[in-house]
């Protein structure tokens, strides 16, 4: 039972390329299903880990890695099938890469930055997941609403930029204030 959260995260990691392949192959309903099941597994593994205290350092790395891989591969596939605009795919991937690089710098320089996700970061992740889910839903049910898709992309992009700025500010304060709390 102790390993169930990590097993669910590992399965989500494996589901990421499968979901992207389904999008690229035009299996829209199946890709929506895999994405939704992966999302539910994320909620379930988090609940199990917190409820029963089955947390681990490995799980603390594996869970967000699986989430990010799923989102990145799906948004790239959605771009490839001409659903997601290039600028949004680039923003979403760039934000995650810059956050990962920032955390590496924090670790490398032993900066006093608390490794707790920002609220705007959590909100952005939720909005990005909703955006991908909405685009998959629209594909699965052949819903063509260019204005809705564009508005969702703009809202997701705006929150992505704001979140990236929030993390950049956090890392910059850590760099500027050195050993004092950021």
pLDDT value, residue 85: 98
Range of the domain at 93: 4-177
Looking at every residue in the chain, the average pLDDT score rounds to: 92
Number of domains in the chain: 1
pLDDT value, residue 177: 79
Tell me which of 175 and 159 has the higher pLDDT. Answer: 159
**171 assigned to some structural domain:** yes
> For residue 135, how far is the Cα from the chain centroid?
15
Tell me which of 2 and 135 has the higher pLDDT. Answer: 135
**136 assigned to some structural domain:** yes
CA–CA separation, 124 and 130 (whole Å)? 10
pLDDT value, residue 50: 87
pLDDT value, residue 107: 85
**98 assigned to some structural domain:** yes
**182 assigned to some structural domain:** no
pLDDT value, residue 178: 67
Virtual torsion, Cα 59, 107, 94, 174, nearest 10 deg? 130
**96 assigned to some structural domain:** yes
**What is the residue-wise DSSP string for 62-84?**
HHHHHHHHHHHHHHHHHHHTTSS
CATH of the domain at 99: 1.20.120.1760
Q: 49-58, 95-104, 114-123: which has the highest mean pLDDT?
A: 95-104
Q: Is the per-residue pLDDT at 61 higher than 80? A: yes
Integer angstrom CA distances of residue 158 from 50, 71, 139, 161, 164:
31, 17, 23, 5, 10
Q: How confident is the model at residue 173 (pLDDT cuts 50, 70, 90)?
A: confident
pLDDT value, residue 179: 53
**173 assigned to some structural domain:** yes
The predicted model scores a pTM of 0.91
pLDDT in tens, 107-164: 898 888 877 789 999 999 999 999 999 999 999 999 999 999 999 999 999 999 999 9
The share of the chain scoring above pLDDT 70, in percent, equals: 97
């Amino acid at each position: 039972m102790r390993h169930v959260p990590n097993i669910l995260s590992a399965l989500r990691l494996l589901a990421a390329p499968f979901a992207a392949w389904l999008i690229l192959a035009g299996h829209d309903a199946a890709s929506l299903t895999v994405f939704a099941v992966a999302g539910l597994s994320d909620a379930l593994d988090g609940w199990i880990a917190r409820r029963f205290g089955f947390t681990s350092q490995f799980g603390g790395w594996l869970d967000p890695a699986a989430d990010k891989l799923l989102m990145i591969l799906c948004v790239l596939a959605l771009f490839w099938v001409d659903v997601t605009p290039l600028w949004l795919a680039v923003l979403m991937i760039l934000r995650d890469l810059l956050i990962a690089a920032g955390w590496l710098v924090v670790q490398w320089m032993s900066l006093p930055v608390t490794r707790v996700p920002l609220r705007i970061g959590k909100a952005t992740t939720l909005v990005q997941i909703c955006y991908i889910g909405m685009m998959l839903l629209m594909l699965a049910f052949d819903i063509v609403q260019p204005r809705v898709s564009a508005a969702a992309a703009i809202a997701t992009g705006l929150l992505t930029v704001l979140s990236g700025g929030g993390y950049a500010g956090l890392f910059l304060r850590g760099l500027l204030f050195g050993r004092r709390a950021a």
